[in-house]
Structure 1
Amino acid sequence: MQSKTHLLEDEFSERGKIRGVRYLQSFLLFLCLFAAYLLRVSISVAIVAMTPDKNSTDFLLETHYHIPVFSWTQHTKSLILSAFFWGYLIMNLPAAMIGRRYNNQMLLAMSMTLTVALSLATPMLVVAFNWPILVLIRFLQGLTQAFTMPMIHGISAKWAPPNERGRLVGFVLGGLQFGTVITLVGSGILASTRSGWPSIYYTSGAFGIFWVILWLIFGSESPDTHRLITRSERNYIKSSLTQTVSEKKNLITPWKEIFTSMPVWAVTISHAGHNCGFWLLLSEMPTFISSVLKFDIKSDGFVSALPYLAMWLCQFPVTYFADYMNKKNVTSLTFSRKFWNTLGMSGGALGLMVLGYMGENANAAICMYVFVVAIGCCTNVGFNINHLDLAPNYAGILMGFTNAVAALGGVLAPTVCGFIVHDQTSVDEWRVVFTLGAVILFFSSIFYIVFGSAEVQSWNEPRNENVGVRSFMQMKTDYGSSSKYTSSSSSFGKLS
């Protein structure tokens, strides 16, 4: 009788719950990155519409509809494009540290809300104060969006079981590419309408508001706090993470071990190199396509989006196949991470080198552009997910650290391009830019092969406060790897 009563109580307590809440969380985080990239990437197309050539149809269209246009130099445009990353660089690690102490769900909602407010205010402020205010707005948006990736990694560490990590987190990261696709296509279309370039900022801001509402209703920091999750799913997730994720909120961060860990630096160098190549293409290719390949802004948006559509579609079979190999123990996890990372980065480096020698051959250049970006999806199961392998307890901190360093790539790519490319129609000047990007990608790939690892590091285990403080104050120069770390015996990790 008593057992029957318990069964009835369990059935009653499970009413109103939904199954697969971890998939719902992944979808919401996917939409978060989608919204973030709508807000972040739209400037790449908007700036072309804001500064059209006086002989172009875009200039005639915008002046006909009395939409303000600006005469900014390439150096000024590069400054605007890089301003975001200065804020991003400064705030990434502090954002991750704040995330260790406060609710990640609310921090994510607040950061998105502030980014949206700045986007909605952009058209009015730029018309009133010209390019200096746009530099400031982009800098502030960099500060607010710095919370996004650390919070997402911190939340994912609590929601994604290890045997589903590649698919769940890979799907979340696909929001970057899907957001880029929709932004590049949609921004080109919006800029060609009667509303012109201001509508780009209003539309991306509106979707950001929509996401915040969804997140506050259905999102949660962990399975413990989600009101709709079933007991069985909660127990499944928690039991799979028992050995690697601590229940404690205010863990002492092992700074010494993080800063002296070569596996962490392998992720960091790869992250920075990938960002440099990714943002070089994302921020500068619309200009290259418009100036060298002679596409108009509407076609420019479609062409610029093709590679990211290919990247988004390719990441589904890649993440599934990577998880399948790991589940079947076809290779060690370390080998798997290095294999996919090398394919994504070295393949991209080769493609960039070839792209630089294609001149004004538009069809060949676009095909190679698609290849370079699409193959980059392999890094989603390489360095991009490696933070959760090394230290699930500090995944947000690790993402904050590597993302801060990687933000230099976003700063340097448009800035260096601005110094190299004085004549936007010069194929030779663009070739130098693409070759430099290829060298950076290749070096980053080799560094990850030599020093990367997917073993849980010994310092992932929580320690008491005194040990944590002493560890930070007595920072020395050892290499901070796990007792299990064996990359010295084999750069690629052994097959098993």
Structure 2
Amino acid sequence: MEDREAPAQAHNLLGQKTAPQSRRVDNALTRTLRSCCVIPQRYVLGVMGLLGVCNAYTMRVCLNLAITQMVRLNKTSKAHVDENACPSDDVINNVTTIVAEKPYAIFDWDQSTQGLILSGFYYGYAATQVPGGYLAEKFGGKWTLGVGLLSTALFTFLTPIVIRVGGATWLFILRVLQGMGEGPTMPALMIMLARWVPPHERSFQGALVFGGAQIGNIFGSFMSGILLADGRDWAYVFYFFGGFGILWFILWSLLCYSTPNTHPYISKKELTYLNNNVTTAENQSAKDPVPWKSILRSAPVWALVCAAVGHDWGYYTMVTDLPKYSHDVLKYNIATTGTLTALPYIAMWVCSFLFGLVCDVCIKKGWHTIKTGRIIHTTIAATGPAICIILASYAGCDRTAAMVYFVLSMALMGGFYSGMKVNALDLAPNYAGTLTSLVNTTSTFAGIVTPYLIGLMTPNSTLVEWRGAFWVCFAVLVGTNVVYCIWADGKQQWWDDVRQFGYPPGWKHGPLIKENIPKQPESIRLADPKEVY
């Protein structure tokens, strides 16, 4: 009887109706599942979230490598002479092999067209960030995320058919639709983590879940290289990753739920622990409108947006264009390109856990505040890669040195997950989805601009042209990090829970909630980061 009543009691703590939940879990199957539930469900969510992000990124990046085998490179010595060109794995008797090595290369797309196609995904991705955050906050993250990724999986599976029928135009439209399906991914995950993860576990859980991006890049690059080796049809890449996405959706539907209190077989111990430790406002705040007036006037929010733009510029430069750089400039063959492109993401994934553990330990022991931790790790993730990517470009045709710098660059970028990536949960646990959607919508423009700009800057894909593109990346990473260091914050903002914190002195922009509450005296203080723990 005690187990039956646990979910209902937890619901009462939040002022929610308990009868429907009690009736739903009061059966033999759920009691059995609950008794067998050895692994805490927040970690099950973490692993499935990791696989979901992995799934999203494999479908996002598989075209980056496949396009090198879809396009004819009718490039001869008469067309362009690059005195800095690197020797090729595919050069025999000093004669560059051409179309014969790519039996399925049936398209004549120039570099700017390829850049436009690769950027198409991010148009759709930006368009559904805010709607995705709204839907996740209103209906829960489970189905918002799940249905979105399922649609992307189906579109990925259909990609070869669409390309052969409609060419570049239809492929661009399909990539936009794929981006629209993935748009709600990060806002929905942020909302679920805000409901499931206590503050002192966020750095590690953030590294676990969002580290799925690196698993996706590793898995996507490695498997694409294998599937494309020996002149195989590039269509296999899209069939494989589309099928992987559909399989993930089935498991997600069965194992994960939007909140602990809607989970049918979470243990009583874990449910009580989460209800006592997860920072969320009272249930009535869910009925309030999103406080856009205060969000758009918040300096920490814009610092977060700026840092995200810088990170995404550097990250998308690596994700979208490293396969092209390895293949076109360093002259690796396609199988080697797939393997080597995966190495930087392995380094980033491993280091993201190390940075996350270090950050959590330092905060728990009081060695530094949340704000300081976020700034330290964001700076590591911005300035370190900026320096390494420049060193890689000046390594010239020294393949070993170039790849070492690229690997080190992405390893340092692993600090991003325990830095600014989880900062939205610090600033606004109750509006994490909305804030994440705002941040991602703005930063996604880097994904739109970067591939197209690099395509324009590297028409002949030479080493000197790519060096210029990397200098632009350096400037963006360092400049945006300076802004973040000045205005970043690690405290829950007053507008996230006006009922608790009140309005700041001098607020003249009207009420943010449906019922007016008095302004707090100037002496009121916001939550101290140390008190969260």
Provide the TM-score with structure 2 as the length reference. Answer: 0.83
**Which residue of the other structure, out of 100, 121, 129, is the alignment partner of 1:60?**
100
Is 1:16 the counterpart of 2:41 in the alignment?
no
Q: How does 1:164-183 map to 2 (within 5 A)?
A: 164-183=201-220
Is residue 312–residue 374 contact of structure 1 (8 Å, CA) maintained in 2?
Answer: yes
Instruction: Select between 243-252 and 361-370 the one with higher mean Cα deviation.
Output: 243-252
2:46 corresponds, among 26, 41, 44, to 26
Distance 1:346 1:484 in 2: 33
| Matching residue within 87, 92, 95 for 2:129 | 92
Instruction: Name the counterpart of 1:439.
Output: 475
Task: Tell me the alpha carbon deviations over residues 323-364 of structure 1, each in whole angstroms, 9 at most, x when there is no partner.
Answer: 111111111111111111111111111112222322222111
Q: Deviation per CA, 1:87-143: give whole Å up to 9, x if none.
A: 112221122122221232111111011111111111011011111111001111111
Q: Which runs of 4+ in 1 moved over 4 A?
A: 5-14, 54-59, 467-472, 482-487
Instruction: Identify the residue that residue 479 of structure 1 maps to in structure 2.
Output: none
On the 8 A contact 1:62/1:196 being kept in 2, the answer is no
Aligned residue identity for 2:70: M
Q: Given the alignment, which residue of 457, 480, 500 partners 1:420?
A: 457
For 2:316 and 2:491, how far apart are their aligned partners in 1?
30
Which residue, 184, 196, 199 being the options, matches 2:221? 184
Q: Which among 33, 51, 76 is matched to residue 71 of structure 2?
A: 51
Given candidates 79, 84, 102, the residue that maps to 2:116 is 79
Q: Counterpart of 1:372 in structure 2: which amino acid?
A: S
CA distance in 2, matches of 1:8, 1:138: 47
Q: Assess, with a 3 A threshold, how the Cα gap between structure 1 residues 485 and 441 changes in structure 2: closer, same or farther.
A: farther
Q: Are 1:101 and 1:250, in contact at CA under 8 Å, matched by a contact in 2?
A: no
Checking the alignment, whether the CA contact within 8 Å between 2:69 and 2:105 is kept in structure 1 is no
**What do you get for the CA RMSD once the two structures are aligned?**
2.6
The yes-or-no answer on 1:147 pairing with 2:187 is: no
Q: 1:8 to 1:73 in 2, by over 3 A?
A: closer
Distance 1:104 1:38 in 2: 21
Number of equivalent positions: 469
2:128 alignment partner, SS class? helix
> 1:202 is aligned with what amino acid?
Y
Q: 1:83 touches 1:138 (CA, 8 Å); kept in 2?
A: yes
Structure 1's 8 and 104: CA in aligned 2 closer, same or farther, altered over 3 A? closer
AA at the equivalent of 2:376: F
Identify if the C-alpha distance between structure 1 residues 8 and 216 changes in structure 2 by more than 3 Å, giving closer, same or farther: closer
Q: Rg bigger for which structure?
A: 2
Q: More deviation in 360-369 or 150-159?
A: 360-369
Letter in 2 for 1:216: S
The aligned amino acid for 1:365 is: A
Change (3 A) 1:49 1:459: same
Displacement of 1:60: 3.1
- 68 and 345 in structure 1: CA distance in 2 versus 1, 3 angstrom threshold: closer
Q: Which amino acid aligns with 2:100?
A: L
Say whether 1:107 aligns with 2:138.
no
CA distance in structure 1 between the aligned counterparts of 2:2 and 2:162, rounded to whole angstroms: 62
1:185-205 deviations in whole A, cap 9, x for unaligned? Answer: 110111125652101111111
Q: CA deviation at 1:61?
A: 4.9
Residue type of the alignment partner of 1:21? Q
Distance of aligned partners of 1:276 and 1:8 in 2 relative to their CA distance in 1, 3 Å threshold? closer
Deviations 1:229-269 (A, max 9, x none): 0111011011102x534435443211011111110111110
Unaligned runs of 5+ in 2: 7-25, 76-89, 91-96, 501-507, 514-522
User: 1:235 and 1:38 mapped to 2: Cα distance?
Assistant: 36
CA distance in 2, matches of 1:211, 1:272: 29
Residue type at the aligned position of 2:59: L
Pair 1:159 & 2:196 matched = yes
Letter in 1 for 2:73: D
Residue number among 57, 60, 63 corresponding to 1:37 in the alignment: 57
C-alpha distance in 2 between matches for 1:372 and 1:199: 31
Q: Deviations over 1:164-189 (max 9, x none)?
A: 11111210011000110010111011
Pick closer, same or farther for the CA change 1:195–1:352 going to 2, 3 Å.
closer
Of 337, 346, 351 in structure 2, the residue corresponding to residue 314 of structure 1 is 351
Counterparts of 2:419 and 2:299 in 1: how far apart (Å)? 16
Q: Which amino acid aligns with 1:429?
A: E
TM-score (norm 1): 0.89
- TM-superposed CA distance for 1:484, in Å, is 5.0
Counterparts of 2:419 and 2:2, CA distance in 1? 46
Counterpart AA for 1:452: A
Give the alignment of 1:249-260 within 5 angstroms. 249-260=286-297
- Matched with 1:430 is 466
Is the CA contact (8 Å cut-off) linking 2:140 and 2:188 kept in structure 1? Answer: no
Which whole-Å CA distance do the structure 1 matches of 2:496 and 2:175 have between them?
Answer: 35
1:386-465 superposed matches below 5 A: 386-424=423-461, 426-461=462-497
Matching of residues 165-244 of structure 1 within 5 Å: 165-192=202-229, 195-241=232-278, 243-244=279-280
User: CA distance change for structure 1 residues 256 and 365 in 2, over 3 Å: closer, same or farther?
Assistant: same
Give the residue type in structure 2 aligned to 1:84: F
Alpha-carbon separation, structure 2, partners of 1:282 and 1:31: 18
Letter in 2 for 1:60: A
The 8 Å contact of residues 344 and 376 in structure 1, kept in 2 or not, is answered as: yes
Partners of 1:417 and 1:232 lie apart in 2 by 53
Letter in 2 for 1:149: M
Distance in structure 2 (CA, Å) of the matches to 1:176 and 1:326:
25
Kept in 1, the 8 Å contact 2:71–2:105? The answer is: no
Task: Work out which of the residue numbers 104, 107, 124 in structure 2 matches 1:70.
Answer: 107
Does the 8 Å contact 1:90/1:143 carry over to 2? Answer: yes
Whether 1:275 aligns to 2:317 is: no
Measured in 2, the distance between the counterparts of 1:151 and 1:436 equals 32
Q: Helix, strand or coil for the counterpart of 1:53? A: coil
2: CA distance between counterparts of 1:450 and 1:486?
20
Structure 1 residue 54, shift from structure 2 partner: 5.3
* Paired amino acid for 2:481: S
Given that 2:195 and 2:280 are in contact with CA atoms closer than 8 Å, whether structure 1 keeps it comes out as no
Match of 1:343 in 2: 380
What does the per-residue CA deviation read over 1:385-419, in whole Å, with 9 as the maximum and x for residues that have no partner? 00000010001111100000000110111111111
